[in-house]
Amino acid sequence: MTLRLTNSLTRRSAPFEPLQAGQVSMYCCGVTVYDLCHLGHARSYIAWDVLRRYLLWSGYQVTFVQNYTDIDDKILNRAAKEGSSMEVVSERNIDAFVADMAALNILPADRMPRATQSLDAIRDLIGELQAKGAAYGADGDVYFAVMKHAGYGKLSGRDLSEQQQNADGRVSGLEEARKQHPFDFALWKGAKPGEPSFPSPWGPGRPGWHIECSAMVRQELGDTIDLHLGGADLIFPHHENEIAQSEAATGKPLARWWLHNGMVNVGGEKMSKSLGNFTTIRALLESGTSAMTLRLFVLQAHYRKPLDFTQEALAAAATGWKGLNAALQLAAQLVTGAAGDGPDGPSNSLAEARLRFAAAMDDDLNTSAALAALFELAKPLRSLANRSERGDAQAASEAKALQAEARLLLELASVLGLKPEAESGPEGGATGPNAAEIAAQIAARQAAKAAKNYGEADRIRASLLDQGIELIDKPGGLTDWLRS
RNA sequence: GGCGGCAUGGCCAAGUGGUAAGGCAGAGGAUUGCAAAUCCUUUACCCCCAGUUCGAAUCUGGGUGCCGCCUCCA
């Protein structure tokens, strides 16, 4: 079986095969670090994290590079607004990015170059383009000449001859006047007074947005890479321009595969900073949604389709995760418990589950179907937990039989970046009564129950619930509790 | 206007020629003093019309609706 991926370049899916057998190079356009990441970023990076994990699981050696755009108008604006500097804004948001990604269990990229630290490669590339006649200077700016590059528009399906004055009113007249074609874009922007700038053969200034990715890809991974990833909103102009720059310089294809994820929508509209309808990763996590719930929410839909963010859908994912998490926790117990006792040879059903999972993932990363395989695997585990709690005599022997299953569940879950998550349990540092006080209340309620004083027992239960403590009666007269 | 995508049960969402995965919610059951939690069971002819086919959610044509990109954007 082979992995099939939908290539935006051809708009169809085809078997994936890296340029060098067993080795995959992938690049993902990162964030402009002017603010916190929102759910749209989370979706994108979760999707590519799963791709990477799946490739690794499949035995590939993967080199993954993701950039930081740390010089840009938005960063400068933000710095001006808060009276700090470009560096301060960038540094802060890079730290936040790292923390957010870690919270979501997204594996860090192998290398994360920054635009401001890649200036030599950027200037070299611009110089090369100019030497080849693909770029021209104008008053301290340098532009890429799209008309000079055959094949411009091949990714986004645009035909230059059909392009009219779409840019009217959207670009400053000054910049427009300098361009030879409306689609020409800046490789180097001459510095305006007071702006931070870097020296260059064209005068002080800074790189345009698109050129950094071309330069970094080339520097870090070579002329042609296997996979280039990003959000669908980057197809035009960003990725189109990257292709043009890189291919004009090297004469080789920039990437063999272009993968694009669908947008996160809110009320049918794209979540974005400009619309103001965004939720930051951090805000969501702080509001009590767990990282794994978010992952499950994202992975339940196919990565290329739009994903509507609603409280209902999130709540559904949370409940779904609760069940899966319980199974994963039990699985972790089983595996570390009486290790080695269980029958090790995978039974037919296990082999089938593994196959089903792989087939789903091979089909353009059908995580929704892959998750179905996980839920099916989790089922007997959850059932076992229920029966053993009820003192089923057979449960103990079954636990051994389920060890291989438990191991497989954990393994496959980890391919999706899903891992057992501790409940926000007793030592959660929350406010309210402490464990000893709760234990005392539970004992009091037990006594009331024994005396058939159910009014009092219910009163204690309700009172604890008011304080955020939920009681869970177990068979055998035991009572667990959760801080909600 | 140009380019691209999507329409499956109450909700989310797989399935792309042989008679509908999974999750959530709902219903019934087990359990419980009653609940909650948990486990078990259960719930669809796939936007409309026409066509191709022995057979279509799945292919073709035509509608309708929604979304993305064309300006910074994951």
CATH of residue A356's domain is: 1.20.120
Residue range A169-213, pLDDT digits in tens: 444 566 777 888 889 999 999 998 988 999 999 999 999 999 999
- In this predicted structure, what is the pLDDT of residue A430? 57
Taking the C1' atom of every nucleotide in all shown strands and the CA of A45, the nearest one is: B74
Question: CA A4, C1' B54: Å apart?
Answer: 32
Question: CA A348, C1' B67: Å apart?
Answer: 43
Q: A63 in a domain, yes or no?
A: no
Residue range A253-279, pLDDT digits in tens: 999 999 999 999 998 889 999 889 999
Q: A80 in a domain, yes or no?
A: no
Taking the C1' atom of every nucleotide in all shown strands and the CA of A167, the nearest one is: B71
Determine the 3-state secondary structure of A368 from DSSP: helix
Q: Say if residues A192 and A107 touch (Cβ distance below 8 Å).
A: no
A342 lies in the same domain as A382: yes
Residue % of chain A over a pLDDT of 70: 93
A391 lies in the same domain as A450: no
Domain boundaries, position A357:
338-415
Q: A461 in a domain, yes or no?
A: yes
Residue range A306-345, pLDDT digits in tens: 999 999 999 999 999 999 999 999 999 998 876 555 555 4
Q: With 60 as the cut, is the pLDDT of residue A288 above it?
A: yes
- In this predicted structure, what is the pLDDT of residue A434? 84
- In this predicted structure, what is the pLDDT of residue A177? 78
Residue nearest to nucleotide B14 (CA to C1'): A369
Q: With 70 as the cut, is the pLDDT of residue A51 above it?
A: yes
A381 lies in the same domain as A440: no
Question: CA A471, C1' B36: Å apart?
Answer: 7
Mean pLDDT of all residues in A11-27: 94
Summary mean pLDDT of chain A: 91
Question: In chain A, how many domains are there?
Answer: 2
Q: A370 in a domain, yes or no?
A: yes
Q: A49 in a domain, yes or no?
A: no
Residue range A124-160, pLDDT digits in tens: 999 999 999 999 999 899 999 999 999 999 999 888 8
- In this predicted structure, what is the pLDDT of residue A466? 86
Residue nearest to nucleotide B66 (CA to C1'): A268
A409 lies in the same domain as A358: yes
A458 lies in the same domain as A393: no
Determine the 3-state secondary structure of A276 from DSSP: coil
Question: CA A114, C1' B43: Å apart?
Answer: 54
From its phi and psi, is residue A288 left (phi > 0), alpha (psi between -120 and 50) or beta? left
Q: A456 in a domain, yes or no?
A: yes
A351 lies in the same domain as A404: yes
pLDDT classification of A393: cutoffs 50, 70, 90: confident
Question: CA A385, C1' B5: Å apart?
Answer: 44
pLDDT classification of A165: cutoffs 50, 70, 90: very low
A466 lies in the same domain as A403: no
Rounded Cα distance between A241 and A152, Å, is 8
Q: A455 in a domain, yes or no?
A: yes
Q: A268 in a domain, yes or no?
A: no
Residue nearest to nucleotide B40 (CA to C1'): A383
Mean pLDDT of all residues in A405-430: 82
Phi, psi of A470, rounded to the nearest 5 degrees: -105, 130
Question: Which nucleotides of strand B are protein-proximal, with an atom < 7 A from a CB?
Answer: 1-6, 11-16, 21-25, 31-40, 66-74
Cα angle value A196/A201/A205 (rounded, 5°): 20
- In this predicted structure, what is the pLDDT of residue A166? 44
- The token pair that represents A338 in the structure block: 């009486």
Residue % of chain A over a pLDDT of 90: 75
Question: CA A234, C1' B24: Å apart?
Answer: 33
A409 lies in the same domain as A342: yes
Which of A356, A380, A415 finishes a domain? A415
